[in-house]
Amino acid sequence: MSMIEHTRTEVAAQEAPAMTMAGAINRALADAMEADGSVLVMGEDVGKLGGVFRVTDGLAARFGEHRCFDTPLAESGIVGAAIGMAMNGLRPVVEMQFDAFAYPAFEQIVSHAAKMANRTRGAIRLPMVIRIPFGGGIGGVEHHCDSSEAYYAHTPGLTVVCPATPQDAYSLLRAAIEHPDPVIFLEPKKLYWSKAPVDVTAPAAIGHARVARPGADVTLIAYGSSVGVALDAAEVAESEGRSVQVVDVRTLTPCDDETLFTAVRSTGRAVVIAEAQGFASVASELAARIGEHCFEHLEAPVRRVTGFDIPYPAPKLEHFHLPDVDRVLDAIDTLNWEDR
């Protein structure tokens, strides 16, 4: 990007109206429905109520109940119906009320949505989005705060997107709705009421990470609500004399290896941060890829700061489970600084 283009982008961001992440998603849905009559929204309580988190508020009134409508409490049936709609020319956007509520639909997602294009040699594509509020930080009880991204990222045929800002929530959802194949769109519910300027004219491409903060000494890699933790840790580390780069993964699959590897090679140190359990996780995959492709540039082994390998804890205990600034700083301290 040229200096002139960069300046124009900064000016556009400053002039853009501020939105919450929930509001940005709502605006993305409305704009997509306005632009394309084949886009529809479906799920439990998404109509008159506007969804548990009010993300679909006003859509049924504006576009009619034939385009934004409530479904029975049957996640497998919801996704199965959406698959049939996508096979016949529609672009359904499905809302799962909570992350763990999506498990009854898992067979439909993995066995049918993910495999249809491959099964038909590309003759049948499924342009559908499954929106899933996920992750912790809201004091939710069991079945309401899972970090289930690894299940979907492990499944070939699914694109998995996770925004960390209202801007990305808008732009990436618009891109997901236009995508020709199934997209799992993970919405960090902890961030629903975070607020920032959103430029609705700014495009976003699926499959591209972003450098959220420059730095020269160590690279922190995160997605979703963990990006904020990484940025806060970078601020503290700067006060201690360390220059910390932060990369927001944004798309879990396909992974933007080029941006990740370039960032890590520039600093020689890496810490991956995620709320999900560490074993067999997206964080594990990111660490492995970095180790394989950046080994000769690393000053220390790649560290991971993740949730613990336990069922999601009770609300009063979740702050012990979720990665925080202190745990990230402790990980940074282990990255072989003796020779500096």
Residues that are catalytic: 144
Rg (CA), the chain: 20
Helix axes 282-294, 257-267, angle to 10 degrees: 60
Contacts of 76 by beta carbon, 8 Å cutoff, 6+ apart: 104, 105, 107, 108
Distance CA 312, CA 297 (A): 36
Classified as helix, coil or strand, 193 is coil
Write out the two tokens for 85. Answer: 């709609």
How far apart are alpha carbons 293 and 283 in whole angstroms?
16
For residue 69, the tally of other CB atoms under 10 A from its CB is 17
- Cα distance between residue 138 and residue 144, in whole Å: 9
